[in-house]
Amino acid sequence: MSRSFRPRRNFQRRYFAPAKNKPNQDLLWAITAGRSLNAPAEVSAQTEYISQHKFEDFGLSGQIKKNILRKNYVSPTPIQDKAIGVILAGNDIIGIANTGTGKTAAFLIPLLEKVLKNRGEKVLIVTPTRELAMQIHNELCDFAQALGIYSALCIGGTSVGRQRIELRKNPNFVIGTPGRIKDLTGQGCLNLSRFTSVVLDEVDRMVDIGFIADIKYLISLLPLRRQSLFFSATVSPKVREIIETFVKNPITISVKVKDTVENIKQDIVKVAEHEKKVEILHDLLIKEDFRKVLIFGRTKRGVQKLTDELTSRGFKAGAIHGNKRQSHRQKTLDQFRKNQISILLATDLASRGLDIENVSHVINYDMPASYNDYIHRIGRTGRADKKGIALTFVG
């Protein structure tokens, strides 16, 4: 950071239990209780997962195995270890796993093998956000190198004309968000009755943001004979409604041990009534260990206002939210990934599925709406066995 940054004279970072008579008390209690997960006794109780398989045990084609090695995948994660063989056998599955467990590869690898053996196979992958769809598409491209397997990315905020052109090429994989897939289906550009494998990813998030009706509609257009793969971190009554119409005789694979992992240190930052949150945030961000920070706000307007304020103070910050063009959102994400900016501000659209390396801190500048949202927000740090810190502002 520039030397021009100066902390306020009487600044002290203070962590307190939540105050009484404030909103979201149940959520505050749960967040505060989450700090106990960092206790040494909890850490020592964890046992390292020992994979039952190696990637070569699954009978994958030579080129797919080469592509796996190229991505430096050494041994399967728990969800990969348990799901790949089941998917290759043609079973429907319900996968319940925390974010950051490697589930994207768990379904992409066997589905690529399936398409490689039968070029008539078509795979539909539905995700809640554009960013997650793009991330899955990029990972698919990595695993599909030199296979001659093509895909189409169908998301809002980008050219629908170009997507129509891509769909006319009859790709084996179509990856997209519910709204755009529904639009393209209604325009006659996408025939869902031809898809032999379907993946619904981060279903709980799709339900949370109001896509349940669209999901049920899309399911109604799918062929009865298909392989259905269902992934969700939680299973609420509404999510169970989708399960009942989507999968048949599924095998349930759960690798969700607990909501948060021990390598994320959780704490709260108490803001007194006379203090300005932005000043406290400023004094945190100038500290040397706040190297790569993801800040969550509640509203698009609030996130943009805070971004403008931090930028005016000399911080290298960028924002992603629903009012930004998709091209701008992707550019900002790339800048954050490449460390061209050190602070990314976002609404909850960034709380699911995004895999960004080396995020040192997640800051909940505004309280999340639910504990599940909190878990997914803080899951952006402490990934790949690295340490992370999650701070929640309380006022």
> 12 lies in a domain?
no
Do residues 30 and 166 share a domain?
Answer: no
Integer-rounded Cα Rg, in Å, for the chain is: 22
Instruction: Give the pLDDT confidence score for residue 352 in this predicted structure.
Output: 65
Which pLDDT score is estimated for 375? 81
Residues 322 and 376 in one domain: yes
Q: Is there a single domain that holds both residue 78 and residue 195?
A: yes
Q: Would residue 4 count as lying in a domain?
A: no
Asked if the structure places residue 2 within a domain, the reply is no
E strands of 106-179, at which residues? 123-126, 151-154, 173-176
CATH number for the domain spanning 351: value is 3.40.50.300
- Whether 114 maps to a domain, the answer reads yes
pLDDT of residue 3: 39
Whole domain around residue 314: which residue ranges? 25-43+262-394
Same domain? For 141 and 250 the reply is yes
For residues 207 and 65, membership in a common domain is answered with yes
Quote the pLDDT of residue 5: 54
Which pLDDT score, from 0 to 100, does residue 257 have?
A: 55
Considering the domain boundaries, does residue 323 fall inside one?
A: yes
Tokens of 316: 């290298």
* Alpha carbon distance 125, 229 (integer Å): 9
Dist CA 7 CA 145 (whole Å): 50
Distance (Å, whole) CA 223 – CA 194: 7
The answer on 376 and 301 residing in a single domain is yes
pTM of the model: 0.74
Q: Is residue 312 part of a domain?
A: yes
Say yes or no: 178 and 311 in one domain. Answer: no
Given this model, what pLDDT does residue 26 score? Answer: 65
For the chain, the domain total comes to: 2
Structure confidence at residue 222 (pLDDT):
97
Rounded to whole angstroms, how far apart are CA atoms 164 and 242?
28
Q: Report the half-sphere exposure of 7 (CA within 13 A, side-chain side).
A: 13
**Dihedral sign (CA 285, 289, 291, 296):** negative
| Same-domain status, 279 and 344 | yes
DSSP-based three-state secondary structure for 7? coil
Number of neighbours of residue 380 by Cβ within 10 angstroms: 26
- pLDDT attached to residue 58: 96
The answer as to whether 210 is a domain residue is yes
Give the CB-side neighbour count of residue 293, counting CA atoms within 13 A: 24
User: 331 and 223, same structural domain?
Assistant: no
Residue 238 sits in the same domain as residue 300: no
Residues 6+ apart with CB under 8 A from 304: 319, 321, 323
For 228, counting Cβ atoms within 10 Å of its Cβ (0-12 exposed, 13-18 middle, 19+ buried), the class is: buried
Q: What is the pLDDT along the chain (395 residues), one digit of tens a residue?
A: 443 455 444 443 333 333 333 446 667 766 666 554 343 333 333 456 788 999 999 999 999 999 999 999 989 999 999 999 999 999 999 999 876 788 999 999 999 999 999 999 999 999 998 989 999 999 999 999 999 999 999 999 899 999 999 999 999 999 999 999 999 999 999 999 999 999 999 998 898 888 999 999 999 999 999 999 999 888 889 999 999 999 999 999 998 655 555 688 999 999 988 889 999 999 999 999 999 999 999 999 999 999 999 999 999 999 998 888 888 988 999 999 999 999 999 998 766 657 788 999 999 999 998 887 888 788 888 876 688 999 999 97
227 plus 294 within the same structural domain: no
Q: How far apart are CA 362 and CA 290, in angstroms?
A: 10
86 plus 35 within the same structural domain: no
Q: Which of 215, 233, 254 is the last residue of a domain?
A: 254
5 within domain boundaries: no
**Domain edge (last residue) among 254, 282, 297:** 254
Q: Are 215 and 126 in contact (CB under 8 A)?
A: yes
| Domain C-terminal end among 225, 254, 283 | 254
For 230, counting Cβ atoms within 10 Å of its Cβ (0-12 exposed, 13-18 middle, 19+ buried), the class is buried
